[in-house]
Every structure is written in C-alpha cells, then in structure tokens.
Amino acid sequence: HWHGLLLPNFYDGVPYLNTPPIEPGHTQKYEFPIKQSGTYWYHSHTMLQEQSGVYGSIVIQPKEKVLDYDKELVLVLSDWTNEKPMNVLRNLKRGNEWYGIKKGTAIPLNQVIARGAFGAQLDFWRQRMEGADIADVYYPAFLINGEETIEYPEFKTGEKIRLRIINGGASTSFWMTFGGETPVLVSSDGLDVVPVERNKTFIGVAETYDFIVTVPQDAKMEFRITAQDGSGTASAFIGNGTILPAIDVARPDKIAMMQKMAKMDMKMGAHALKFQPGKDERFEMKEEYGMQMGKMEGMKMDGEMKMDHSKMKGMKMDHSNMAGMDMKKDKTMSGMNMEMSKDSMSMDYSNMVGMNMKKENTMPGMKMEGMDMFSEYNYDYLKSPEKTNYDKNVPVKEILLNLTGNMNRYIWSMNGVPLSEADNIKINNKEVTRITFNNLTMMHHPMHLHGHFFRVLNENGEYSPLKHTVNVPPMQKMTIEFYGNNGDEYGDWFFHCHILYHMMGGMARVVSYDTPRDPRMDEFPASKIIEETDKWYSWGLVDAASHTTGFNLMTSNIRNQFNASFEYGWNQNLEGEITYERYLHDYLRVFGGVNIENETRDSLDKFSTTAVVGIRYLTPYLFNLDVRVDNKLRPRIGLGRSIMIFPKLSVFGYYEYQIDLGFVDDLPINKDFTSETVWSAGAEYMLSRNFSLMGSYDNRFGAGGGLSIRF
C-alpha cells in the first residue's frame, strides 16, 4: 500500500479489495502518475507483515523548491517485537496482563489504593473497564532507521536540515522532542503547513511530519522519540561535539487519569459488539454513547448562567457550523444562537466543529474541569497556507463513527460493529462527506483513509489542514471532511485504525463510491480481506498442582467460541466439559454442551454424562457469571473474579451453587432435595507470559500449589 499517495483505485495495494495479492514467486507492477510531492511511505497490507518490517519511506521532491534548507534526512520510526506478530495478537485476544507487567505500565490495586484512587477504580470496574489503558504491546526496542541510537555526524555547524519523519510503527505513537534550538514544523502528512516553531510534538501511527532544524555550533542535537506510554525511547544525534539533549517526556500518570475521568462521570465501556449483527447506526447519535466533549462539569458563563449537562435533556443543540469559531472576550459568541426563557433553554451550536477547548481560549468565565486532559493531542497548531474549505452550496453528508472496543476480548469496532459485520459506507463525489469520530475508548486511534486527503477541522477554520491520517485521542472527538477524490472518484477504499492490532480486531470499514468493480479483480473476492479481521484464535492453560490438575482449551472468533475443560483432583474427583458459545453481545453469550463428572465423591467407579445449556455474562465490576441447567433439570450458578493486587501477583476466587431437584431421566422420583456448593480461592504469581506459580484452596480437593502453563 502506497500510504498517502493519490492514485487509481486498482493500485492502492489492499489485496483482494482493490489490488491482486502478490502470491509467492509472482510480481505485481504498480504504475500511476505522480500528483503530489512530500514525505510518504509504503507498507504491506497483508495481515501483520508490517510489524515484521515490510515498509519503507517515499520522498517526492517538488518541481520547485519552496522552503529554505540545505540538506534533508529521512527518519523512519518503528517498534520492534521478538515475537511472531500473530502470537502477539493471540496474547491480546486472551486478555493476558503480561505485556503491561513487563513494561511497568500495569496499575495493580496496591498502587491505586496508595494513591487514594480506589473510588475511581470502582467506577472503572463498574463500567467493565480494568483501568486507563494507553498502549497494548510490550516492545523490547523502539527504533529510528532501525537503530535504538543512531549518529549523523556528516551534518555541519549552521546547516539547515529538513527532517522527514515517518511513524512506521505497528502500534506505537511517539512524543518527539529536540535538543538545541526549537525546530520549525513545516509539513504534515506530506503537505506544507504554515511554519510554526514547535518542540514537543505527538506523532500518531502512520503520520508524517517535516521539521527544519539548524545544526548547533560545536555540538550535536538529540532528536528523541518517547513511546506514548513512557515504556521506551530511541534517539538520533545530528552534528558533532557536545550533546544537546532533548527534553524529557514524563510517563503518563494513569491513576491520575482514572481519577479525573471518574470525577467527570464519563461514560466508558461502550459496546464493541452489539446484539444485532450488521446494524451500523453511524447516522444516529445514540444516547447510550453520548459525546464525551459534552462532559463539562460546573460550566459557568460570566458567573451568571450555569449549565449542568446532566440536567439538560430538553436542550436543543445544533453544533455543525462552528468551525474556527472566534471566542471573543466580550459576552457575545459569534455564530451561536441562544434563546432563553424562564423554564427552558435552546442552543443552536451544530456548527461548532473544531471549537478549541483549551483553557486560554474557552468561553468567558467558563470553568471546564478536567477538559484539558487530552488537549495536548489536538491539531490546532496545524494551519494550511491556503484555504481548504469547500463551496457552501455543495451538499454535506454527515456520518458519525463512534470508536468502540473491548480490551478483554480484544475486539475493536465502530458504532459497536466490527468490519466483518458492517456494510460499506456509501459516498458520493458530488457532496462533502463529513465524518465525526467519537472515541469512546481509552486508546488512541489513528484513523487512515486510503486514496484521500481530508480536512481536519480545527480552530483555523477555512485554513484547517489537510491530512491522510488523523489521531483521535481517548474520550475525545475529531471531525474530518472531504469532497471528491482528486479525479479518482470510483472504487472501494479501505478506512481503518492504523494500529495494526486494532485493524485486525475489526476497527475498519470500506468506503465505497458504489461504482462497478474493476474487472481485473473478478477472481479475487473482497471477502478475504474482511475475513482477516474475523480469524479464529486458539490458546490453552494447564494447571499442574499438588492437589489438582486442570486443562482448558479455547478457540474463538468474534461471535463464536469452543471450550474444552478437564479437571482432576488427586482425591479422585473428576469433571470434564465441552461447550459451544455464541456471543450475542460483548458481555453476554449463550452456550450448550456436554458435561461429564464422577457421581460419587472420592470414587471414579461411576460417571454421569449430561447435556447443559446456559448463559455466561460479564457483570459490572468484572465478575464472570455462569448460569446453567442440565438435562436432569439441575440448575447451577457460578461466579468468578481475578484481581491484580501487586505487580505480577493476582488473587482469584470462584463460587458455585448447584441444586438437585430430585429428577432422574426427566422424571420425578421420591428423592430428597439436595444442593452442592463448590468454591475455591487462591493466588497467582506471573513468572513470564507463559508461566505462573499458583496456590489455592478448593473445598473438593483441599489446599495445594504448583505451576500454571499458558500456551
């Protein structure tokens, strides 16, 4: 895929969607006219090959040089794992906490309590969220042009160097900082912007930025990248002599983030998988989601009018036309129509797209508690040197895409619908397509639209910048718009989060001009690229302990799951079960299967085989509930939970209650009502991704300990 290049649909490089796959031993020739200049890149669009290094830079020089600099240097940023990328994704799918533990970004309960944030943690658990996640994968190294530290001594004192910086990481966004004089940012995603001095700058996955730096006198300046979760850095040194270090970037305080978000009463944990497969409500603003930017606690205007959003159900708000709105210091708000009565208030602010929410530019007297939590990620510093707005007479089609996800099962979607269940987004080249991203997750999502540039609406209004990738910060919204496609208004174009593991988890769509498919693609079904986001993943667990041995095997895709479990106690208690589950929703699945167990405790002489059906439900506060009945009409209810108390150390517990109503072969007999209770509790200490020490007490098997092995 030729990332950021404007080209005919057939050469876009997404296998099966618009370009034939390049089979082993085959060749694919790409031939298209060059319509642009700037800093771009290319990468594989097959599965997770990009994580393994299948990418590179592209620099297209302009016909005439318009910026003043002496030399240039391309810097490709990346993240590196020693694991097979598919094993990384499998580990994420099973919800293993090892990556956070390994890189020191996990927040166990002891740290939460020590900071007085237990109430905030309870609020997250209530919404089925473990905590303020920032990045998913453990990387042993972050790289600049393939090195953790790299020197460029060939650049001489006083030379102006154009740094062309490309984030080719698979899932890591970086903070970029510089030593020496403040650099000048001159380009974003290959297109020139109004030059601005800027040091600390966030670069999302797949974005590109160009800076002009001046080589210092008898010194070398450091260019440093810091992973967004603070888990690692890499540096390039330009020049010779004493090192001028780049400024440090502090590791984000995830516990403080949790406290702020709990204080703002933000709704989190939006559904990543809905009850109705394929129902994409992208044209509706559902109350269950809300717009997180609306959470303005204690908002005040000039000390006279208070606005409590939790009590504004009757307020009419239209905020589609405030791009670049000027918040003047007087009491008027240009472009905002406000009608007040004694009992009601109606506000029309549907044109507030791009409104700047920074503290220094808020409405007069407005108190916006916590609203600056992610403000440093906005794009207000980017301004196009030319107007980018469209003719007001062109019709506008508005699309809402809530960005949704489930960290426990690692499913990612838009509006609760993953790619495998979604319709194409139909667009028309005769109208402006305006898309609002409403991020309802704790992760950044760099959204990339193939084959297009779009306006990112910010405080610069008519001069809002053009980009091909926009990073949407957690619990925030971004609005983009585009019109036509530079002469290539046909075909299907991929549109996805550029964190590879999120894309593979389902956060993608196909944007379609609804034109006939290229006949050269007839033998390549587009369904294959969609199937990549709904693959089956398998994993297993063996508990080998002094009092019991257990075995669990699971294979799962987005909607379906097969489980096989076996448990044997050394006091001769045995139980095995095979079930099929169907996920109706993120938190709810139905299941059916076969259970086998010994009928008499402490004896393997006789076994009972029964059919079981039931539901499994993830409750608020993250308890796993299992409610079932077997063909002997014996109901059973189970409840389990695991909590990380200290780094690497978790405690777990399980309780089960079964009732025997006195039925045999579905017929009542003269038998007393009986019940049985099973419970266990224990602790687990993680040694590595695949091994843990464990100890537990089970009322059937007694106390013991041993080794847990994950595979």
pLDDT single digits (tens) 361-377: 333 333 333 445 666 88
What is the DSSP track for 371-401? TTTTGGG--TT---SS--PPPTTS-EEEEEE
Place 660 in a pLDDT band, splitting at 50, 70 and 90: confident
- Residue 572, pLDDT above cutoff 80: no
Q: Over range 298-309, report the average pLDDT.
A: 33
Kindly list the distances between the CA atom of residue 264 and the CA atoms of 23, 298, 308, 444, 476, in Å, as whole numbers in the listed order. 52, 10, 12, 19, 13
Q: 590 — phi, psi (to 5°)?
A: -105, 155
Q: Is the pLDDT of residue 614 over 50?
A: yes
Name the band, by pLDDT with cuts 50, 70 and 90, for residue 274: confident
Task: Give the SS3 label for residue 121.
Answer: helix
The residues, any chain, with a CB within 8 Å of residue 311's CB and separated by 6 or more, are: none
Q: Which two tokens stand for residue 309?
A: 């959003």
pLDDT of residue 623: 96
To the nearest whole number, what is the mean pLDDT of the chain? Answer: 85
Contacts of 430 (CB under 8 A, 6+ apart): 394, 395
Query: Of 655 and 672, which is predicted with more confidence?
Result: 655
pLDDT of residue 553 exceeding 80: yes
pLDDT in tens, 148-172: 999 999 999 999 999 999 999 999 9
Is residue 66 within 8 A of residue 38, CB to CB? The reply is no
- Rg of the Cα atoms in the chain: 28
627 pLDDT band, cuts 50/70/90, is very high
Contact 494, 216 (CB under 8 A): no
pLDDT digits (tens, 9 = 90+) for 322-339: 333 333 333 333 333 333
Phi, psi of 501 (to 5 degrees): -70, -25
On the CB side of 97, CA atoms within 13 Å amount to 22
The predicted model gives 488-515 an average pLDDT of 93
Provide the pLDDT for residue 343: 35
Q: 236-251, pLDDT tens digit by residue?
A: 999 999 999 999 999 9
Give the tens place of pLDDT for each residue, 191-224. Answer: 999 999 999 999 999 999 999 999 999 999 999 9
Sorted by sequence, the CB contacts under 8 Å of residue 282 that are 6+ apart come out as: 399, 400, 401, 414, 415, 425
Q: Contact, 245 vs 236, CB < 8 A?
A: no
pTM of the model: 0.86
Q: Give 664's pLDDT tier (boundaries 50, 70, 90).
A: low
Q: Which of 591, 595, 609 is nearest to 665 (CA)?
A: 609
Rounded alpha-carbon distances, angstroms, from residue 98 to 95, 233, 321, 444, 536: 9, 20, 46, 21, 22
Q: In the chain, pLDDT over 70 holds for what percent of residues?
A: 83
pLDDT given for residue 269 in this prediction: 67
Residue 191, SS3 per DSSP: strand
Q: What's the one-letter identity of residue 608? A: S
Task: For residue 521, list its beta bridge partners.
Answer: none
Band the pLDDT of 279: cuts 50, 70, 90. Answer: low
Least confident of 37-41, 112-116, 253-257, 316-320: 316-320
Q: Distance between CA atoms of 587 and 406, rounded to whole angstroms?
A: 10
- pLDDT (average), residues 416-421: 93
CA distance 249 to 140: 19
In sequence order, what are the beta bridge partners of 568? 549, 574
392-413 burial code (b ≥16 CB/10 A, e <16): eeeeeebbbbbbbbbbbbbbbb
Indicate whether 431 pLDDT > 70.
yes
Contact 668, 662 (CB under 8 A): yes
Let me know: does 641 contact 622? Beta carbons within 8 Å: yes
